[in-house]
Amino acid sequence: MNVDDVIFDGPVVPEPRRRQPAEDLSPWFQTVEDVGPAIDPQTFFTTPAPLEVDIGCGRGMFMFKASTTRPDTNFLGLEIDFKEARRAARRLVRRKQPNARIVGGDAREVLSKKLPEASVTAAHVYFPDPWWKKKHMRRRLFNDQFVDLLARIVMPGGHVHSWTDVEDYFVVIKGLMDNHPLFVALPPAPENEAEHDDDYHTSFERRKRQDGWVIHRGLWQRR
């Protein structure tokens, strides 16, 4: 009997599914490893321009809107959640946005090692994770070391913007920034009344404001 004629009654074991290769979104999305030892703001974008950094850019609403309405400025988004970062990058890919790029990975590595000193005109930190549980609060982004990193990359005269809906976290942020010798507090811009669903900085701000939450806003200038 030929073995090919034998009928086996056992269960059919399906072939293992092959993982699809990740969609190539470069240059709009790159990992910290992809960018190499350093990011040169003059060559990283299509055209050299003043650079602003969105730390924890999430789904990229601010990145997309700001880079669209301000084509004379380059925007670098930093996001540790690769799924969210790639989602944001897809919006930029569809528009072939020349002045926006997203790097996936730990923002602190980019701020401490990849970006040159005094290379950023503004840093934006909107709604950083508050890490509610006491045992997790050490994971919060804002601490003395992080503020030192902001002082490292933001050029004299540049700005740091930070918003949160968590009042006690804002007290911490404000205390750290107000007491740093290289930053001075400025009055933040007044909150505008949103005229439509896209008239917000971030999708998180939209959700919180529509639910009636107070947004605490801070603005500081680099000395």
Residue ranges of the binding site for substrate: 133, 165, 202-205
Query: If you search the block for the tokens 């998180």, which residue do you land on?
Result: 204
Which positions make up the binding site for S-adenosyl-L-methionine? 54, 79, 106, 129
129 is annotated as an active-site residue:
yes
Rg of the chain's alpha carbons, rounded to an integer? 22
Which positions make up the binding site? 54, 79, 106, 129, 133, 165, 202-205
- The DSSP-derived string for the chain is --GGGPPP-SPP-PPPPPPPPPP--TTTEEETTTTTT---TTTSSSS---EEEEET-TT-HHHHHHHHH-TTSEEEEEES-HHHHHHHHHHHHHHT-TTEEEEES-HHHIIIIISPTT-EEEEEEES-----SGGGGGG-S-SHHHHHHHHHHEEEEEEEEEEES-HHHHHHHHHHHHTSTTEEEEPPPPPPPPSSTT-SSSHHHHHHHHTTPPPEEEEEEE-
Q: Which of 9, 34, 40, 129 is catalytic?
A: 129
Catalytic residue annotation = 129
